[in-house]
Amino acid sequence: MSKLQILVADPIADKGIEALKAVPSFDVVVNLGLKKEEDFAAAAKDAHAIIVRSGVKVTAKVIEAAPNLKVIGRAGVGVDNIDIPAASQRGVVVMNTPGGNTISTAEQAFTLMMSLARKTPQAHASMVAGKFDRKSYSGTEVFGKTLTVLGMGRIGAEFAKRAKAFGMKVIAYDPYLSASRAESLGVELRDNLDDAVKDADFITMHMPMTKETKHMLDERRLGILKKGVRIINCARGGLIDDNALAAALTSGQVGGAALDVYEVEPPPADYPVLKAPNTVFTPHLGASTEEAQENVGIEIADAVRNHLLEGTIVNAVNMPNVDPKVLAEIGPFLRFGELLGRLISQISPQRANVVRVNYSGKVGSLDTTLVSRAVLKGFLERASGNEGVNYINAAGVAENLGLRFTESRLAEATEWNDLIEVQVRNETEGATIAGTF
């Protein structure tokens, strides 16, 4: 039996490598010199799994060059160096490690806030230069100040806990944060971004990089902030318009900025913010602690190993999480849903534009996301002639075909313990099929 090749293209903890090498069916290849796309693609041709950090880019060309590829593991949080659409189209699971560097990044951001408030780096440089200048480096207390946390995930929540311990008032902005969670964290939740930032003395950023969040602090928004506000960013450089930030620092509208991440990394010598006053810079050190590096390396190695051996999916960015217990519970429904999808594809009207799945009984009380994808997979294999459709790319294939997918769940039992009903329609006619165990 041929071995499953795992290509490690960025440095991860030795314990993670050792855990993978301990599996007899794995062939672990560590190749850290793949900066060029063509070299990476050539090295990945036999890979069943690829593990990276942020040093290399897993492009569509790399993914296409690896016909056996099943999973890409990112030792860290950000996955902007991985072509997610290309991976999903190929049916490749992309997993990251959102919890491994939570504490280290929160501590780094908090350290930057305190350094900014007390001008610690500048005072240190002055002392090293032989000066003892107390007047030039008078700072400000954070006690009693208003802090706005943009993004209340794991890292943002840890930052908020520390800020509250220092006596700060904490405002939170996160479109996905529930009111009950905000209450439990003891923070004031604001629904509008402008409203969340306009009264802040300090702003710390912990949002992912998306189309919606790119340059969320732009020239206009920097202009409405309280004069002298201090900004900390340990998330992603593109969240701030660096040209606008440099101008705001120079004019005094922004009183200071502490950055660990940059829109261009490493930043060139003429990078605008580097020349601005009242700044603190570190070279992307958020996850750079011994503990964090070991944690994310071990975590991603375990995730990749368990996926290849057991089909387990955790912390996936393009697929619902599935652990062995859940998989055992919904496994029969997956096979059944796929069968129903295949069957209705044979009787459905042409040019269908709606697929609907209705669940009743016990199955309606489960997480049916994967079951719905199984139905779509079965339907699309025949309807679209696409034999490459799978649980990961089924939703994307349906969208590309103009199919609108909906589902409903009813936990109460009907005359059957479990019933799955699939409806397919076009503008004028439809077909329905239902099945039960």
Residue type, 34: L
Active-site pick, 18, 183, 265, 399: 265
* 334 Cβ neighbours under 8 A, 6+ residues apart: 370, 371, 374
DSSP per-residue letters across 128-155: HTT---SGGG-----TT-EEEEE--SHH
Residue 284 annotated among the catalytic residues of the structure:
yes
Can 124 be counted among the known catalytic residues? no
For this structure, is 236 an active site residue? yes
What one-character-per-residue DSSP string does 64-111 give? HT-TT--EEEESSS--TTB-HHHHHHHT-EEE--TTTTHHHHHHHHHH
Closest CA to 53 of 77, 35, 88, 37: 77
Q: Which residues, in sequence order, are CB contacts of 433 under 8 Å at separation 6+?
A: 340, 343, 344, 347, 421, 422
- Which listed residue (53, 90, 190, 236) is catalytic? 236
Considering the candidates 154, 215, 284, 409, report the single residue annotated as catalytic. Answer: 284
Nearest to 72 by CA among 316, 306, 287, 311: 316
Distance CA 343, CA 398 (A): 17
Q: Regarding beta strands 229-233 and 188-189, do their DSSP bridges make them parallel or antiparallel, or are they unpaired?
A: unpaired
Residue 405's Cβ-side half-sphere holds a number of Cα atoms within 13 Å equal to 20
Q: Which residues are catalytic?
A: 236, 265, 284
